[in-house]
Chains A and B, each alone.
Chain A
Amino acid sequence: MTSLILGLISGNARRRALRPAFSLACALLFASLNACALPSLQKAQLKPVIAQPVMELTQTPFFPQEIHQCGPAALATVLGADGVSIMPESLADQVYIPGREGSLQAELISASRRNSRMAVRLAPSTETLLQTIAEGRPVLMLQNLGLKSRPAWHYAVLIGWNGPKNELILRSGRERRQRLSSARFLQTWELADRWAVVIADPSQPPPATVTPADWIAAAAPFESTGQIEQAERAYASATQRWPQESLAWTALANVRYAQKNLEGAEQALEAAIAIKPEAAALNNLAQVRLERGCGVAALAALDRIESVPAALQSAIDDTRAQARQLGADRKIHCSAAP
């Protein structure tokens, strides 16, 4: 672009009289371009990011999008790459909003869950995206192809890169193999808040590039949407992958509790507390012990709470009151240590 404009300036020497007007037009054009240019573009070099110079997930399916339907097409692409065979037309019923002529991020995420997968948010760095692809998983991302003030939202699937050419390769719209310069890619992604997700099977080991918190956050909605077994699989995968992550154990305990597996819940909570004696986990352990008929053991768990977060105060008071009411251990299994 810059060279084109410079070319224009030198090629119009004979129109000297109009030069001021032309300079103004150029200045305005530059100003409008700069409005969407970002500081990070200067560092948009792919080469140092990852050891592999060229990578492309050529086996990723491709569904050329129908008008306005990049959401269903992109989602079908990433679901297909993870073994869920579904056509964009079926997904349109799950995510397309005619009145908005598009699809919302929240619904792409919920539709993934409807198809037995999780859409896990990725950290907002190019490195994370490329490492995810290097692991063999295409990345679903949001782009803003317009300006900040006049956005044109678009979903595409990142499937590879070419380091020497400084290009990224995407399945996008009706293009099976779109090549974008890393600067343009970063610009469109940055304007979409660097939103990117990876599709994962809850019962499989989590992708190497996701954090425990993002994995658990992606799995938690399974609980309130009636897919409790999927949530349990995801949390179990999390405890295997991150055995030192107390939240994974606490989450696993919660789904076991919801399925009336009190013994399993107690074991998972004990594992959580062994890592980190957090107030929420200790409260839940006390509640489980109460329901197993162990008043003393429940109080013992509550007594280990060092500081009570304000948001948990009422829940903890409630549990303590119940534990006092129960008073004694009525069962033999209650002899467990706090």
Chain B
Amino acid sequence: MRKQKTFLSGLLVAAMLSVTSWMPAHAAMVTTEQMVSVQTEQMRDAQVAQVQGFLARADVKQQLEALGVASDLADQRVAALSDAELQHLSKTIGEQPAGGDVIVVLGVIFVVLIVLELLGVTHVFSRF
């Protein structure tokens, strides 16, 4: 039966990757993550994501470790990501915005003003 086949193959992949937070997908039930992406094209993507999530999990973990995250923390972090999130991240982890520092853009303008001053074009600073 198709449903059992899906269940079995899913179980195999899970066993191979020793994924902890894994739940069997029922072939005949349409999941909420699939339904959230209403358009048919996206829905197919979500179905694919569910299968590829297993592979993406190992991939994202590896990438996090390569970026300096400790192995046990990386394990917990990939376990907290959904299949769709994992698949998205595995492709783009290097390009995603990583919020970090407060950089003052005005610094750039300040440098331009100093250059102008040094070139003798302006006398902004010598006036004060």
Residues on A facing B (Cβ under 8 Å): 1, 8, 11-12, 15, 18, 21-22, 25, 29, 32, 65, 67-71, 74, 93-107, 109-111, 113-114, 142-147, 151-155, 172-174, 192, 213, 216-217, 220-221, 223-226, 231, 235, 247, 250-251, 254-255, 257-258, 280, 283-284, 287, 290, 309-312, 315, 318-319, 322
Contacts and interface: CB of A to CB of B under 8 A. Distances in A.
26 contacts: A8-B122, A22-B121, A25-B116, A74-B99, A95-B77, A97-B64, A97-B68, A101-B98, A102-B100, A104-B93, A110-B81, A110-B85, A142-B99, A152-B101, A153-B99, A154-B100, A224-B53, A225-B79, A226-B79, A250-B35, A280-B34, A283-B28, A312-B30, A315-B29, A318-B2, A319-B28
Contacts of B101: 67-68, 70, 101-102, 152, 154
Which of B20, B64, B100, B116 has the most chain A CB atoms inside 10 A of its CB? B100
B37 to A, nearest CB: 9
B118 interface: no
Given A22-B116, A220-B82, A311-B40, A99 B53 contact: no
Interface residues of B, number: 62
A293 to B, nearest CB: 15
Given A94-B76, A110-B81, A257 B32 contact: no
Given A102-B100, A311-B47, A251 B32 contact: yes
B32 A71 contact: no
Interface in B15-57: 20-21, 23, 26-36, 40-41, 43-44, 47, 50, 53
Contact of B29 (A102, A104, A254): A254
A196 B72 CA distance: 30
A152 B81 contact: no
B63 to A, nearest CB: 9
B81 A225 contact: yes
B80 to A, nearest CB: 4
Contacts of B43: 309, 311-312
A93 B33 CA distance: 27
B64 to A, nearest CB: 7
Interface of B: 2-3, 20-21, 23, 26-36, 40-41, 43-44, 47, 50, 53, 64, 66-69, 73, 76-77, 79-85, 88-89, 93, 96-105, 108-109, 112, 116, 119-124, 127
B33 A221 contact: yes
Nearest to A224: B82
Nearest to B85: A106
Contacts of B3: 318, 322
Given A1-B109, A110-B80, A216-B36, A315 B28 contact: yes
A221 B102 contact: no
A251 B97 contact: no
A22 B122 contact: yes
Nearest to B82: A221
B82 A153 contact: no
Contacts of B29: 254, 257, 283-284, 287, 315
Nearest to A144: B97
Given A104-B89, A145-B103, A309-B43, A18 B96 contact: no
Contacts of B28: 283, 287, 290, 315, 318-319, 322
A97 to B, nearest CB: 5
A106 B100 contact: no
A195 B112 CA distance: 31
B108 to A, nearest CB: 8
Contacts of A322: 3, 28
Contacts of A154: 99-103
Given A22-B116, A106-B89, 12 more contacts: A29-B109, A67-B101, A94-B80, A95-B77, A99-B68, A102-B97, A103-B98, A103-B100, A104-B93, A110-B77, A216-B32, A311-B44
